[in-house]
Chains A and B, each alone.
Chain A
Amino acid sequence: MIQFSAYKMLQTADGELPLDVNFTIEKGKFIAVYGNSGAGKTTILRILGGLTAAEQVNIKVDDVTWDDAEKKLHLAVQKRSIGFVFQDFALFPNLTVRENLEFALSKGDSKEIVSELIDLMELQSLQDNKPERLSGGQKQRVALARAIVRRPKILLLDEPLSALDDAMRFKLQDYILKIHQKYELTTIMISHSIAEIFKLSDHVLVIDKGRITKEGTPENVFSEQKISSKFQLTGEIISIKKSDIVYVVQVSSGNTIVKVIATEEEVANYTIGQKVLVASKAFNPIIQILS
């Protein structure tokens, strides 16, 4: 279990912003952290990892104190059982894939875990290559494997997939889930993708201006059960066009665009760029198999 409580004054482009966050995470859970840029998400991970200091901080992991500002207790970064993966790949360019993983081993550790991770992450054919020969997705797979080499209890992921295209993201999500389960990790991932959060996480923390404004399961946080309809997407209005006595409203969501018929009275309340929920009942959509 992770018990986290921190207060830190952040310096942002818009001036000072107090980060004031408390949360408890059960062992083995997959937590997503969601929110606008500059809300303090990365700072939370860095404080937990011991990379950033805070004015007030109290962190306990499985009843071991990692940080206690009052007692001036601070466990060193290397003593925290944490694996980190950031958006940029941060591999050693002069080492091969296997050497990158071996470099992360503690002195005296068996190399067995390296071979196990190479198999698990399907890096066998790449293991003797240097990072420059790898694609973005491959590099991130190596970075994930490297984060696990020391068998951490906690895996911290700071938008690890945001630089990748959709196909690669989906694949990497599967790898992340695989290692989360196999190594019984408690994983905390910052993500901007609601689809990704639904796929991976058990629990979401929504951070806004340095505070947790909402938390719960992805279903509760993002669908809010506003409406009983089961066919829902959220997106932005990108155009409103008159068509006979009705209007066609185009809504862009992820990489799809849907069109919805609306009346004149309704479009009076709509503006381009507005965030909207589009809903239809589960009884209407038709499924066709794509071959």
Chain B
Amino acid sequence: MNVLQGIITEIKSHEGLSLVKVKANDFVFSSIVLDTPETAGYLKLDNVVKIIFKETEVIISTALNPNISIQNQLLCRVESIKKGVILSQVTLMAGKQTIESIITTNACEQLALHENDNVMALIKTNEVSLSAHD
């Protein structure tokens, strides 16, 4: 599980859904949640929250400027790769932030990933959970 700390910078709500922007280090994450400031106390501008997404939801692209619908795109350096038979765990560094990705070993080989390669980590807006900071 990737857990980052951030500050809410923008909330756009409509009919129970909210698109929330959360700034963590230098990157602004987009998250979509089934809550609004009326239903969830933590949805407040400038509130500190945790940004949570699973390793298996982190997509890796070697194209650094992909024309793609995914809103969360972080430029990363490949720190290390742990290869399994089916799955591989790729540890990425976005600045000083570690992000773990689990992709298939096939994908890892297809992309010919190596340590220190520059890649984009992609996380869909609806895969990012928010949690009130405690």
Give the residue of A228, A244, A245 whose beta carbon is less than 8 angstroms from that of B40: A228
Of B85, B100, B129, B130, the residue contacting A244 (CB under 8 A) is B85
With a cutoff of 8 Å between Cβ atoms, the chain B residues found around residue A229 in the complex are 129
Does residue B35 face the partner (Cβ distance < 8 Å to A)? Answer: yes
Asked whether A246 lies within 8 Å of B1 as measured between CB atoms, the reply is: no
A263: interface (CB < 8 Å): yes
Q: Taking the nearest CB of chain A, how far is it from the CB of B84, in angstroms?
A: 4
A263 touches B102 (CB 8 A): yes
Is the CB–CB distance between B89 and A226 below 8 Å?
Answer: no
Q: Say whether B1 contacts A266, CB under 8 Å.
A: yes
> Which residues of chain A are within 8 angstroms of B75 by Cβ–Cβ distance?
none
Given known contacts A227-B52, A227-B129, A229-B129, A245 and B33 CB-to-CB distance under 8 angstroms: no
User: Are the CB atoms of B33 and A228 closer together than 8 Å?
Assistant: yes
| One of A226, A261, A279, A281 near B127 (C-beta < 8 A) | A281
CA distance A124 to B1 in the complex (A): 57
- Tell yes or no: B132 within 8 A of A by CB: yes
B64 within 8 A of A: no
> Roughly how many angstroms separate A244 CA and B85 CA in the complex, as a whole number?
6
Q: How far is the CA of A263 from the CA of B102 in the complex (A)?
A: 9
Q: Contact: A225 with B42, CB < 8 Å?
A: yes
Separation in Å of the A225 CB from the closest CB of chain B? 6
CB-nearest residue of chain A to B50: A227
Q: How far is the CB of A77 from chain B (nearest CB, A)?
A: 43
Q: How far is the CA of A38 from the CA of B54 in the complex (A)?
A: 40
Contact A228 B131 (CB under 8 A): yes
- Give chain B residues whose Cβ lies under 8 Å from the Cβ of A263: 1, 55, 89, 100, 102
Residue-wise, chain A 15-54 has the 8 Å CB interface mask toward B (1 for contact) of 0000000000000000000000000000000000000000
A199 within 8 Å of B (CB atoms): no
A281 to B129, Cβ gap below 8 A? Answer: yes
The residue in chain A whose Cβ has the minimal distance to the Cβ of B100 is A263
Give every chain B residue within 8 A of A225 (Cβ-Cβ).
40-42, 132
B129 lies within 8 A of A228 (CB)? yes
| Per-residue A-contact encoding for B93-134, CB less than 8 Å = 1, 0 else | 000000010100000000000000000000000110111100
- Interface members, chain B 27-49 (any A CB < 8 Å): 31-35, 40-42
- Residue B80 at the A interface, CB < 8 A? no
Check if B13 is an interface residue, CB within 8 A of chain A: no
Provide the residues of chain A in CB contact with B127, threshold 8 Å.
281, 283
With the chains together, A228 CA to B54 CA distance in Å? 14
The answer, yes or no, to whether A178 is at the interface (CB within 8 Å) is: no
Looking at the assembled complex, report how far the CB atom of A169 sits from the nearest CB atom of chain B, in whole angstroms.
Answer: 29
Q: How far is A266 from B56 in the complex, measured between Cα atoms in Å?
A: 14
Contact B84 A244 (CB under 8 A): yes
Query: Does residue B72 face the partner (Cβ distance < 8 Å to A)?
Result: no
A245: shortest Cβ distance to chain B, in Å? 4
Instruction: Output the least CB separation between B7 and chain A (Å).
Output: 16
A-B contact pairs, 29 of them (CB 8 A): A225-B40, A225-B41, A225-B42, A225-B132, A226-B132, A227-B129, A227-B131, A228-B31, A228-B34, A228-B40, A228-B130, A228-B131, A244-B84, A244-B87, A245-B82, A245-B88, A245-B89, A246-B87, A246-B102, A261-B56, A261-B102, A263-B55, A263-B100, A266-B1, A279-B129, A281-B126, A281-B127, A282-B34, A283-B127
Known A230-B34, A263-B89; further 14 A-B contacts with Cβ < 8 A: A225-B41, A225-B42, A226-B131, A227-B52, A227-B129, A228-B35, A229-B129, A244-B86, A244-B87, A245-B87, A245-B88, A245-B89, A246-B89, A263-B100
